[in-house]
Amino acid sequence: MKKEHVVIYPGTFDPITIGHLNIIKRALRIFDKVIIAVAEDTTKDTLFTVEERVQMIKESLKGYKNVEVDTFKGLLMEYAKKKGVHTILRGLRTVQDFEYELQMALANKKLNPNCETIFMMTEGAYSYFSSSLIKEIAHLKGNIKDMVPPPVEKMIKKKFFNKEV
């Protein structure tokens, strides 16, 4: 029986963006399964609850096979061990992302020498998208339609303006 190649794509996804979706869709060409692991414990101030983030991701990826959306608390390496997965996927937009992600990958390697981190550059059209920037644009009533999937745009407008799209 062929061994399944699974990767964990962790993050806060507050909210998921078109750039995140770009990474996920391309990862599905390489891996048999992508586990999107939504971090519950984070030092970031999140706009959305973990349940809302999971809901937006599931709605945004409706129809995609071989994608699992899950949550985790604590160390990513402990979660990876629990899931029996030995590969982590991290998306990169800029050189600054790489510096931060390299530190995380090296720390994770120290915690679990059997786990590898794979970096994937987002396509250029999405390189300036960040969840923080998108939230700021939305808060100032800017157009985010081409930056996030429709379910996310709807949730952001509801959250900021108590308005249905």
Q: Is 86 a catalytic residue?
A: no
Q: Are strands 67-72 and 33-39 parallel, antiparallel or unpaired?
A: parallel
124 or 9, higher pLDDT: 9
Exactly one of 33, 58, 83, 93 is catalytic; which is it?
Answer: 93
| CA distance linking residue 106 with residue 50, whole number of Å | 27
For the chain, domains (ranges, CATH) are: 6-128 (3.40.50.620)
The predicted model gives 136-156 an average pLDDT of 92
pTM comes to 0.92
Exactly one of 25, 44, 82, 141 is catalytic; which is it?
Answer: 44
pLDDT digit string, tens, across residues 22-73: 999 999 999 999 999 999 977 778 999 999 999 999 999 999 989 999 999 9
**What pLDDT, on a 0 to 100 scale, did the predictor assign at position 162?**
80
Exactly one of 53, 60, 90, 131 is catalytic; which is it?
Answer: 131
The answer to whether 112 and 81 are in contact (CB under 8 A) is yes
Q: Is 131 a catalytic residue?
A: yes
Q: Is 20 a catalytic residue?
A: yes
| CA distance linking residue 104 with residue 11, whole number of Å | 12
pLDDT digit string, tens, across residues 69-116: 999 999 999 999 999 999 999 999 888 889 889 999 999 999 999 999
